[in-house]
Structure 1
Amino acid sequence: MGMNANLSQEEFGRMVHYSASLVSAVDTGTRPLDRVFLARADEALKSGDLLVTLLRIAERDREPSWFKPWLEAERTARQLRLYETTLVPGLFQTENYARAVLRFNDTFSEAEVERQVAARLARQDILTRQDPPQVVVVLDEGVLSRTAEGLSGIMVEQVGRLIELAELPHVHIHLIPRVTGLRIGSSGPFALARSADGGWVGHLEHQLGGAVVDDEDGVAALLARWENVRTEALPRRQSIDLTKEMQAHHEPQ
């Protein structure tokens, strides 16, 4: 990243509370940049939030082209509607859950996994900003019961995170109980974003990535599908109770 020429790595490390060896690792690119490091660097170098902002721009620019329009719609949305059948949505993932999910892609290097984890966590800023969107999420119960060997601790943490978020006034999490069976949403996950001017944009995920839906007929079809899956879901409080049961399911007996 190129440190201030007037500072040694050891001197800079003392300023940002990192060891000289860690500063060297960042400087040479063997350790990925993170927001904590850059926020401290901004403070030490009196650069405002320049470095943190540059990281955010770099992360956005490295996203695949098919995902960028949705990221912009998500960032500026006044309302988000998310439906997931297999995984916790990225906006709600803990760092450990996101890392475990991304590691399932064996084409990603460890550095790429860490970059994508950081980008995913950065997206979550919209949930806690001063003027957050309303976020309504519908999840199949199986999303929370699914696990693998060695991941129970991660799931306890992840489900706990969902419980915390569900208590926020602008976040509504609804579960579709397992007994419901097949329904119109079973064809796959999707998302909808409503902008400040009232227009809707959709996003469909598939195995090769995803696609933005912004034509009138496509958006209407997704809104109709949303009404169906939302109708099948439990009310908010019952959903929180079931989520707490799922957390207990993952805890050591």
Structure 2
Amino acid sequence: MSKKLIPTADLIRTQLRLMRVNAELSQEEYGKLAHFSASMVSAVELGQRPLDAVYLARADKIFKTGNLFVSLLLLAERDGEPIWFRPWLDAERVAKQLRCFEPNLIPGLLQTPAYARAILRGADDTRTEEEVESLVAARMARQAILTQEHPPQFVAVVEETALRRFANGYEKVMAEQLLHLLNMAERPHIHVHVLPSNVGLHAGLSGPFVLSRSEEGGWVGHLENQLGGSVVDRTEDVEALLGKWESVRNVALPDGQSLDLIKEIVRPWM
């Protein structure tokens, strides 16, 4: 019988506690060294508070473990994502520029927990609550790239129909999501453009895609479908996606008009 694998996050918490105990530090003493309260240290070790890069960076410094715990956090974030999606995460994390076209949903990097939870439940009604929450946590963890010290430029084109899904009892969730979208778009490196419904036929009708440009200047893409997704790195395929991106971006509304339309859509639901 095969042994059940321990989630990376649980492994991190176990090792944090073990190293603290081996160093003969109480939670209060360790908290003073790391500039956290004893209750915070306890909550992290018990799994009552999510792990984050700041907390683990201080642990690495105190225990002289290099970048070990911070690196393990990246693995923990991958645990919650489907295997087919993990190759794209590496490109996303090192991106200097991100371009996203989404005809049906709010892009994952701009989703609220409640919206993500509704989408993930709707996509597969056989998922357990634990599986859904694991996927939601992983998606929220991905969003840290947009709030880090040197975030990538993120430009999203979203079809208007994706902003008007207020039916089936999700009015509050959708309103909260659109307000969050407006708040995120206030950041100088985040740009949201709406592709209005009256555009008709356009280059993005074949489906959503994302493009990532690394610091070295190379682009890679990601395509998602009903059964999973795939990373696109062949030169001719990437060039085709860049061409599609230019086409959908050109028919989308400018920043200001896009945000005005989002405000108009959400206003009756506030």
Asked if TM exceeds 0.5, the reply is yes
> SS at the partner of 2:194?
strand
Looking at structure 2, the residues matched to 107 and 16 of structure 1 have their Cα atoms a distance apart, in angstroms, of 37
* Offset at residue 50 of structure 1 (A): 6.8
CA contact (8 A) 1:66 1:212 kept: no
| 1:227 alignment partner AA | E
Deviation readout 1:118-159 (Å, 9 max, x if unpaired): 111111111111111111100000111013322111111110
Match of 2:90 in 1: 72
Report the Cα distance in structure 2 between the residues aligned to 1:136 and 1:155, rounded to whole angstroms: 21
Pick one of 37, 40, 51 that aligns with 1:35. Answer: 51
Q: For residue 109 of structure 2, what is the aligned residue in structure 1?
A: 91
Deviation, 1:197, is 1.2
User: Unaligned stretches of 5+ in structure 2?
Assistant: 1-9, 28-36
User: Any residues of structure 2 matched to 1:1-253 within 5 Å, and which?
Assistant: 1=10, 2=14, 15-16=38-39, 34-35=50-51, 39=55, 54-61=72-79, 63-104=81-122, 105-251=124-270
Change (3 A) 1:62 1:120: closer
Note if contact 1:39-1:51 (Cα within 8 Å) is conserved in structure 2.
Answer: no
Structure-2 change in CA distance of 1:53 and 1:250 (3 Å): farther
Give deviations 1:41-95, integer Å, cap 9, x for gaps. x88xx76997676444123145333212211111111110000011111100011
Aligned residues: 237
SS at match of 1:186: coil
Greater CA drift, 217-226 or 97-106 = 97-106
- CA separation in 1, counterparts of 2:225 and 2:132? 20
Letter in 2 for 1:190: F
- 1:246 positional shift: 1.6
In 2, are the aligned partners of 1:78 and 1:134 still within 8 Å (CA)?
yes
> How many Å apart are 1:208 and its aligned residue?
0.4
Q: Does the C-alpha gap of structure 1 residues 196 and 55 become closer, same or farther in structure 2, counting only changes over 3 Å?
A: closer
State whether residues 84 and 140 of structure 1, in contact with CA within 8 Å, keep that contact through their aligned partners in structure 2: yes
The alignment's C-alpha RMSD in Å is 2.9
TM-score normalised per structure 1:
0.82
